Amino acid sequence: MTEKMKSVNPYNQKIIKSYNLHTPLEIENKVKLAEEIFTIWREKEIKERTKLLSNVSNLLEERIDSLSKLITQEMGKPINESIAEINKCIFLCDFYTLNAEDFLADQIIETDAKESFISYDPLGVILAIMPWNYPFWQVFRFAVPTLTAGNTALLKHASNVSGCALAIQEIFEDAGYPKGCFQTLITNHDIIENILKNDIIKAVSLTGSEKAGRHIAKIAGEYLKKSVLELGGNNACIVLDDANLEKYLDTMVKARMQNTGQSCIAAKRFIVTKGIYDEFVEKFTKKVKDLKFGNPIEQDTKIGPLARIELAENLEKQVNDALLKGAKVIIGNKRNKAYYSPTILTEVTEDMTVFTEETFGPVAPILKVDNLEEAIKMATNSKFGLGTMLFTENVELALHAISKIPDGAFFINDMVKSDPRLPFGGTKASGYGRELSKEGIHEFINKKTVYIKK
Ligand SMILES: O=CCCCC(=O)O
């Protein structure tokens, strides 16, 4: 019997669709096609590639309703956030349409040669392994710069979002990209590991867990393939006594509760100085209580189900560990299948798993500290290094903290977020390499030195 991959709606646990896994022969053919098309695609002018990219932007715009519904059905994201996700992909396409030629232009370097420069050449076929939490955005964040630089791509998406994975391939093909430029593989992880070992694959980009990152990096290392890893995060949100809660409280709530808390860059540890602590807990709790919890397809829903029941069970376990060690539940900690109610914890200590591990759901642990110095010490007490946010009216003081934060991002008076114009990525167990901006389009290219003697 042919093996199937199922998409299950986490709101009602109904099967949306079953997908046949690609056979070994189909996979082999797709890998070969990606290599064959690379030889044609790499020769295209960048302008030709960005013309097709602007078609992708238009198609996303045209299909935004059906695509956002697909996201919500497959992984439970509140519908308005699914719409925002597609809009962000459009912004990304428009950004590279406008800037790719400049980012990829030869860079002349004055030396004693008649002429010397860096030529930015594509690498070849790049493998992407992507997660379900931003099923369009994370694929686009990889694919748009990678294809625009002249590479071709193969995608192994998370098994619960196969509909999104196939819809993305369809968009690239309908936009006029040669068939084979971007292909989705409906297959299992062990097959993907073998594909990574294949000489045709020149590099791999993985967004996912720390565990998956370590595993893929090991294979990539053994086979000497470049890898870019965007892994978990445990971002601290530091709130100082002089923070403007009136202005920024909504941002802080969003920083934690976006995508029902299922985001690597979410605020996962609130570290609050003692002068504002009580006021923060009270006001933050009120805001969180007001978030509408329910069916993600309804326009006003802010918190939906988690993408799978096991994710909610795991979150419950993490919270129970905290409770056993002395944490107090202010609100929440109720589970019903894939639903986990927004939860606020106080009396949290640094030995609890809600502090040491990432909580991938709507759980906000709050910790009290005396001052900024103590806050930074606590914020940096993490194996992860994706980002830190700091809320204060004293921006001068915040600027002094920049060098003390060993993360990929430091946001002052805003939540950590990705933006096509800025590099995105982490340090430590959050991975390495950068996506987006000029840095991102330069990840999967050969920076070739060209030297012409006088
Ligand atoms: O899990 C990671 C989420 C990243 C979301 C973003 O890039 O905005």
Residue 362 near residue 260 (C-beta atoms within 8 A): yes
Contacts of 441 (CB under 8 A, 6+ apart): 96, 100, 103, 104, 145, 146, 148, 149
- Within 13 Å and on the Cβ side, how many CA atoms surround 253? 22
Pocket of ligand 1 (CB under 6 A): 133-134, 137, 263-265, 417-418
Q: Which tokens is 377 given?
A: 């010490």
How many angstroms separate the alpha carbon of residue 138 from the centre of ligand 1?
7
Residues β-bridged to residue 445: 122
Across 145-160, b (16+ Cβ under 10 Å) vs e yields bbbbbbbbbbbbbbbb
Give the pLDDT of residue 3: 78
Predicted confidence (pLDDT) per residue in 275-305, tens digit:
999 999 999 999 999 999 999 999 999 999 9
**pLDDT given at position 1:** 59
Smallest CA-to-CA distance from 290 within 281, 301, 279 is with 301
Write the pLDDT tens digit of every residue in 128-146: 999 999 999 999 999 999 9
Mutate to test the pocket of ligand 1, among 418, 419, 435, 436 (most ligand atoms within 8 A of CB): 418
Under 8 Å between Cβ of 354 and 319: yes
pLDDT at residue 2 greater than cutoff 90: no
Closest atom of ligand 1 relative to the 232 alpha carbon? 1
Active-site residues, by number, are 230
- Would you state the pLDDT for residue 57? 99
DSSP assignment string, 374-389? HHHHHHT-SSEES-EE
Q: Specify whether the CB–CB gap between 127 and 195 falls below 8 A.
A: yes
363 with 389: CB under 8 angstroms?
no
Nearest Cα residue to 145 out of 126, 165, 163, 171: 126
pLDDT (0 to 100) of residue 454: 79
**Contacting residues for 404 by C-beta, under 8 A, at least 6 apart:** 376, 380
- CA dist 13 and 454 (Å) reads 70
What spacing in Å lies between the alpha carbon of 266 and ligand 1's midpoint?
A: 8
Q: Compute, in angstroms, the gap from residue 134 CA to the centroid of ligand 1.
A: 7
Q: Which atom of ligand 1 is nearest to the CA of 131?
A: 1
Report the C-alpha gap between 148 and 152 in whole angstroms.
Answer: 9
Can you tell me which atom of ligand 1 is nearest the CA of 417?
A: 8
Q: Domains of the chain (ranges plus CATH)?
A: 4-231+430-452 (3.40.605.10), 235-419 (3.40.309.10)
The protein residue whose alpha carbon is closest to atom 7 in ligand 1 is 418
User: For atom 2 of ligand 1, which residue has the closest CA?
Assistant: 264
Residue 271 CA: distances (Å) to CA of 31, 162, 193, 254: 48, 38, 40, 16
Structure-token pair, residue 355: 């502090």
**380 CA to centre of ligand 1 in angstroms:** 20
Structure tokens at 412: 């002052």
Q: How far is the CA of 108 from the centre of ligand 1 (A)?
A: 35
ipTM here: 0.97
Which of 92, 265, 389, 434 most suits a substitution to test ligand 1, by most atoms within 8 Å of the C-beta? Answer: 265
Per the listing, tokens 């109720």 go with 334
Please write the tens of the pLDDT for every residue from 24-42.
999 999 999 999 999 999 9
204, 195, 248, 251: which is closest to 229 by C-alpha?
204
Please tell me the distance between residue 137's alpha carbon and the centre of ligand 1 in angstroms: 8
CA 415/CA 356 separation, integer angstroms: 20
Residue 433's pLDDT is 98
State the pLDDT at residue 23. Answer: 95
Spatial CA neighbour of 410 closest among 375, 385, 433: 385
What is the pTM (predicted TM-score) of this model? 0.97
**Protein residue with least CA distance to atom 1, ligand 1:** 264
pLDDT average, residue stretch 76-96: 98
State pLDDT tens for residues 217-235: 999 999 999 999 999 999 9
**What is the spatial order of strands in the sheet that 343-346 belongs to?**
328-331, 343-346, 363-369, 267-273, 235-239, 388-391, 410-412
> Shortest CA distance to 228 belongs to which of 57, 444, 8, 408?
444
Number of the ligand 1 atom closest to the C-alpha atom of 262: 1
pLDDT, the chain, mean? 97
Checking if the pLDDT of 79 tops 70, the result is yes
